[in-house]
A and B are shown apart, each in its own frame.
Chain A
Amino acid sequence: MADASVIVAQVIFGLIRGILLGCVFALIALGLNLVWGIAKVVNIAHGELVMLGAYGAYFLNLFLGFNPLLTAPIDAALGLAAGLGFYFAILHRELRGKEAITLQSEMVTLVATFGLSLAISNLANIAFTGNFVGIPFDAGSIEIGFLQIPLAGIYVAVLSVVIISLTHVLLNRTYLGNAIRAYSQDIPAAKLMGINPTAVAAIGTGLAFAVTMAGGAFLTTLFPTGINPYMGALYAPISYVIVVLGGPGRMWGSLVGGLTLGIVIDVGQIFLGVEIAYAVAFLLLIPVLLLRPEGILR
């Protein structure tokens, strides 16, 4: 009996941790979802943005003593600038003047972001060294019965959901957001509305990068010693799985996908170990793609 209650406690703890982690995953995936949905760019360098966000939090903590919650807005501002730079340096060359984004354009931007991904992680390895680093951040914890839940994890999860909600409101309730969505659906028709296609595509990319880097900062509280130059290699595929689970272009879908993945990983590793749990999480993609290619949500 004692064994059973230990397992139940572990599962409950895994579930809670999975939910907290899932919210942050969802925020990170939202960034991928945005670029994918707006500019049809499968951003292979997405994971590197998460990594840069995490290092941003690390260095701001190291030199200025900021905690990861405070660094997130700074990371987001850097992400916005990086997104605008990325749009004008790479995407604009390919997408400028196009009436629709063709498969060929998608391939060109995919290869370009692949190159960018390699360049960033290798430069980071030189600049930051390959060591694992972390941020000591303890905001206390709350106790529920025998469970101790770190407050930092709750903060970042709540903030992630808030940012996802705000993004949803921006996209659905504002002229700018509707213009971004209009651009992603019909570029010539968007122009007829008076929408400057370059401006909205650039802002949309900036927004996506901002959200992703903020997510990278939040992540450091849940994996306090997991910051390294190659961590992007994990968060890119995690984000793809989440976006596909939730349905490309659906912001709430990212939250559902994120929670699913977070729970599968954190509960799964109790029984299966970490590696198998991640493998199972990725394999979820196959039945979903076969049965519900539009994502879990209708």
Chain B
Amino acid sequence: MLRLEGIDAGYDGTQILWDIALEAKRGQMTVIIGPNGAGKSSILKVVTGLLPPTGGRVFFDDEDITEVPAYERPDLGIAACPEGRRLFPQLTAEANLRLGAYTLRARRHADDRLAQVYALFPGIRPRATTKALRLSGGEQQMVAIGRALMASPEILVLDEPSLGLAPKVVTEIFETVHRLRLEGLSVLMVEQNAYQALRIADYGYVVQGGRVLRSGPPGELMDLEELRKAYFAIS
């Protein structure tokens, strides 16, 4: 459903991504793994439109969306939970969630979606009127994922949902994402937490130095020598 072809991209003239080819299939969980600084977040920024590529095309349902501005992509059904969560710090948890349903398409179902998000993350309901900056890291992550779900997306784009969270919370988040995938949602997720991510994935990409190093079903990537090297080379 989502396809990158030959993507080159960078910041201020410094190229970071080189010839990235990647596909996230409908109803599947696609994960991108790789060491810190590999370019994983940059790939997602190309997907969401925040980073315009200098070369290559982005397709969504076979439609070329390379030139579609970021703020029109939620309307197509692409909703993202960015790296570092990026909640609106001065807005309440619930105001953050409701902004997830900002598009006219999603706004009509906002109340239903809100009830679903609270059912999915019961822990954030009592925090509804708390400003986002006062939420714990785990609560912030749940609100951030919930905010993306409020858009009624066709594909959910997640950037390192486990970052900086306690192991117990990480497990909870992964379980929830897995449940969403089982309910039929397409997911494109970036994770540094490679093994936990691959366990719930249908397909994986290993990115290093701004290039796709390998791709394949999780079983093939799990015991990949290169994967180990890619990580040990950094850490």
Chain A positions within 8 Å of B, measured between CB atoms, are 172, 175, 178-179, 181-182, 185-186, 188-197, 249
Contact = CB atoms under 8 A, between A and B. Distances in A.
6 contacts: A178-B95, A178-B98, A179-B99, A186-B89, A193-B100, A194-B73
Interface stretch (B30-38, B80-88, B119-127, B179-187): B80-88
Contact of A185 (B48, B82, B89, B102): B89
A193 B153 CA distance: 11
A227 to B, nearest CB: 38
B146 to A, nearest CB: 13
B82 A188 contact: yes
Secondary structure of the A side of the interface?
helix
B90 interface: yes
A143 B113 CA distance: 56
B102 to A, nearest CB: 5
A195 B49 CA distance: 13
B139 interface: no
A195 B82 contact: no
Contacts of B102: 175, 179, 193-195
Given A192-B80, A194-B75, A197-B71, A181 B90 contact: yes
B39 interface: no
B176 interface: no
B52 to A, nearest CB: 10
Contacts of A249: 90
Interface of B: 48-50, 69-75, 79-80, 82, 86-91, 95, 98-100, 102-103, 106-107, 147, 151
Contact of A175 (B69, B79, B90, B107): B107
Contact of B88 (A186, A191, A197): A186
A194 B82 contact: no
A192 B88 contact: no
A253 to B, nearest CB: 13
For A190, A191, A194, A195, which residue has the most chain B Cβ atoms within 10 angstroms?
A194
A191 B91 contact: no
Given A179-B102, A194-B102, A194-B103, A189 B71 contact: no
Given A181-B88, A185-B89, A186-B88, A191 B98 contact: no
Contacts of A190: 71, 88
Contacts of A191: 49-50, 69-71
